[in-house]
Chains A and B, each alone.
Chain A
């Protein structure tokens, strides 16, 4: 018959499933931590109402996804995992230990153009998130049982590490030209082995996000950013000028800048690249230059930008 409801941890040990409730709560708390930036918001009365609504939504969605997970796990307990046929699954669970892929990676890739094999060496963020994703995929339970993978202390350590890399513009000017921002958002080139080291890289934004209403060819890996500024209260030039001319950048400016520069400071394992900081153990040049980031800020927040029409 099918395998016992056992799963491997990252070291290849068999793990028994534990109850779901405490870890779900744990997960919820972690999600709340992700949105700690909302603590800035009480300074803005309107925004804080929005923020608290959002906060409850986040908590609710966490709880519902936990119970969803529990349902799925119950199903899994009764039989094989859905995507892998039973006999194969049995084999997988018989095999001991995790395969060591570092040798395979070393033998399978070669440096080409500007893409050096160094890029394959993971930094702590990449290592952590790869393991997390792989284990989550194994039915969701490893995420909860393996303290080496989802250790809230490690999670927080990596997040803070990323946060510390964010630098703010030296001239305290956060905005550029939304038209240039639009072409950076459209541009999906840069950093591949067929690109040049000295070329200006693109932001790839439309690959994953809806931005302007006119561009129909947009991806859905990230949330829609259409009307990003308007929805956050930047409704006219007057409010935009308040944003741009304030010597203390508002939380909205800080947050938007922060996500563009290093998304991993907010959500450690987000699929969004870190555009404004060196990435990986080879510390490559940031993908986007400071001026390009400013142009993207304008694309998102300037009321004249196509994003806010």
Chain B
């Protein structure tokens, strides 16, 4: 437990926060309320998908086949896996990319305006074979998701 806490502290960029973990969390949520564009550190600290959903204050995500994911079935290297999400859902304001079984599931958040298409491609690390999950958050707050498994294999000579 102690170690985990230290890891968390390492990931904090704000050197001002030196108090207890509780006050740090409080301060950070306050900061977030003040400025919606600030980096959402607590979401990037969440260790599970449930924690993450809570941290981002998301409504219950609903599975939608209107979200298409383009991911490789097998990755010969988990360090670089290209993932793409696109959707026919209207008014998408946000894409949230997750790798479910990573120590930190949240990979990226993309905030879109009406000037861009609801299609995003990125490259993620996969610590192991895992579902890639993409949340699409609409302007009205509803969240849809789709997921697809990426198998991470051992490659090379193994040495």
Asked if B155 contacts A188 (CB within 8 A), the reply is no
| Contact mask for chain B residues 55-73; partner A; CB cutoff 8 A; 1 contact, 0 none | 0000000000000000000
Enumerate chain A interface residues (CB-CB to B < 8 A). Answer: 186-190, 192, 194-195, 202, 204, 206-207, 216-217
* Min distance, Cβ B129 to any Cβ of chain A, angstroms: 10
Asked if A206 contacts B158 (CB within 8 A), the reply is yes
Asked if A188 contacts B153 (CB within 8 A), the reply is no
Dominant secondary structure of chain B at its interface with chain A: loop
Which one, A192, A194, A195, A217, contacts B154 given CB within 8 A? A217
Asked if A217 contacts B153 (CB within 8 A), the reply is yes
A187 to B158, CA, bound (A): 7
Question: Total contacts A to B, CB within 8 angstroms?
Answer: 25
Asked if B151 contacts A189 (CB within 8 A), the reply is no
Q: Give how many B residues have a beta carbon under 8 Å from the other chain's beta carbons.
A: 8
A190 to B151, CA, bound (A): 26
Within 8 A of A (CB), among B111-159: 151, 153-155, 157-159
A204 to B156, CA, bound (A): 11
Residue of A nearest to B158 (CB): A188
Asked if A192 contacts B153 (CB within 8 A), the reply is no
Which one, B74, B153, B155, B159, contacts A189 given CB within 8 A? B159
Taking CB atoms, residues of chain B closer than 8 Å to A194 are 159
Instruction: Name which of B151, B153, B155, B158 has the most chain A CB atoms within 10 A of its CB.
Output: B158
A190 to B53, CA, bound (A): 44
Residue of A nearest to B156 (CB): A188
Which one, A187, A195, A207, A216, contacts B153 given CB within 8 A? A216
Asked if B74 contacts A216 (CB within 8 A), the reply is yes
Residue of B nearest to A195 (CB): B159
| The 5 residue pairs across chains A and B that have the minimum distance between CB atoms | A188-B158, A217-B153, A217-B154, A188-B159, A189-B159
Asked if A192 contacts B151 (CB within 8 A), the reply is no
* Min distance, Cβ A195 to any Cβ of chain B, angstroms: 8
Apart from A189-B158, A194-B159, list 10 A-B contacts with CB within 8 A. A186-B158, A188-B157, A190-B159, A192-B159, A204-B158, A206-B158, A216-B74, A216-B151, A216-B153, A217-B153
A188 to B153, CA, bound (A): 14
Could you write out 24 A-B pairs with CB less than 8 Å apart? A186-B154, A186-B158, A187-B158, A188-B157, A188-B158, A188-B159, A189-B158, A189-B159, A190-B159, A194-B159, A195-B159, A202-B158, A204-B157, A204-B158, A206-B154, A206-B158, A207-B157, A207-B158, A216-B74, A216-B151, A216-B153, A217-B153, A217-B154, A217-B155
* Min distance, Cβ B84 to any Cβ of chain A, angstroms: 23
Taking CB atoms, residues of chain B closer than 8 Å to A204 are 157-158
A204 to B157, CA, bound (A): 8
Residue of B nearest to A202 (CB): B158
Instruction: Name which of B74, B153, B157, B159 has the most chain A CB atoms within 10 A of its CB.
Output: B159
Residue of B nearest to A217 (CB): B153
Within 8 A of A (CB), among B60-117: 74
A254 to B116, CA, bound (A): 68
Residue of A nearest to B76 (CB): A217
Taking CB atoms, residues of chain B closer than 8 Å to A187 are 158
* Min distance, Cβ B74 to any Cβ of chain A, angstroms: 7
Residue of A nearest to B155 (CB): A217
A186 to B157, CA, bound (A): 10
Instruction: Name which of B74, B153, B154 has the most chain A CB atoms within 10 A of its CB.
Output: B154
Taking CB atoms, residues of chain B closer than 8 Å to A190 are 159
A186 to B74, CA, bound (A): 18
* Min distance, Cβ B82 to any Cβ of chain A, angstroms: 19
Taking CB atoms, residues of chain A closer than 8 Å to B153 are 216-217
Residue of B nearest to A194 (CB): B159
Taking CB atoms, residues of chain B closer than 8 Å to A195 are 159
Residue of A nearest to B151 (CB): A216
